[in-house]
Amino acid sequence: MMVIRPIRADDYPALYSIAVESGHGFTSLPVNDELLMRKISRSEQSFNKVVSSPGDEGYLFVLEDTLTGEVCGTSALEAAVGLDDAFYHYHLGKVVHSSRSLGVYKTADILTLCNDYTGVSELCTLFLRESRREKNNGRLLSKMRFLFMAEFPQRFSDRVIAEMRGISNSDGSSPFWQWLQEHFFSLDFPTADYLTGIGQKVFIAELMPKYPIYVSLLSKQAQAVIGRVHDKTKPALALLQSEGFSHRGYVDIFDAGPTVEARVEHIRSVRNSQRLQVRLGDVSNGQPYLICNTSVVDFRATWLALDVNEHSAEVTLPADVAAALRVNAGDWVRVTRI
């Protein structure tokens, strides 16, 4: 059975392997012992913390195969970004150059450095090992975060974003960053990406161009990747779009990948989730549902074909699934359709 749970200290070797597998452009999992151990420790503290409003908490989850104990993937939630370190984006906007007397009217796209998403929650660190990209594993790893947010709304902002991985080449270079590097930096993309991942962001404020950049001045290669996602990220983007996320012109400052956003209350899996009481028994058929318990510290989630009656306040779970979720008859769970 595939089960989501909070990360533990003894998951470090698996998390390190996932960081290596994730490759270039996956800023939130740097291949760095100290940083990865700090992420695990911060997550453990966040799950154990009593929270009334979002702050500097980060919740890191793993997907475990309960038959083998293998950690097959990871995903995370940041409660509120930019409260400690500045959280940068480029916003793609327009300016108009117009002269009525000369009969000239031209629009130009510009990129403006901003911190507009400060304080919002973030979906991040989603990675599923290639050998496990089957059935509903990807959906479970991604969408279970919506159940967690629905169950514990006080821990999150009313708005949530997800930064989507942009275009990078097989050698780790980014067409967008190459232009910035040529004109403003002496750092290659993997180095800049790594420094950001380990929290050393001061170089952004020191070296990034302070004024809006006219897109037409960028190289053709850089212009072509603005707002586009890496091929491996397309399924994740499609999933979020199906949940109601949309792109409002914000892109990553390194690879120009799009950032998508939604109000939590408008996310389909949040809006359609139900809190039901557990009844133990056999389940012979039904529709696939995501299901989680209602504990923070002992949070567990999985997916199962369930027969959910919209007019009933109960749901029937097999004994082994209830045990994996750490619930008993009479306990509450939250479910939503896959």
Strand 287-293 versus strand 274-280 pairing type: unpaired
Q: How far is it, in rounded angstroms, from Cα 135 to Cα 149?
A: 24
Closest among 171, 168, 338 to 269, alpha carbons compared: 338
Return the exposure string of 116-147: e unless at least 16 CB atoms fall within 10 Å of the residue's CB, then b: bbeebbbbbbbbbbeebeeebbbbbbbbbbbb
Catalytic residues: 230
Number of neighbouring beta carbons within 10 Å of residue 58? 20
CA 289 to chain centre: 21
Give the contacts of 206 (CB within 8 A, at least 6 positions apart): none
Cα–Cα distance measured from residue 44 to residue 58, given in angstroms and rounded to the nearest whole number: 9
CA dihedral in degrees (129, 131, 133, 134; nearest 10)? Answer: -150
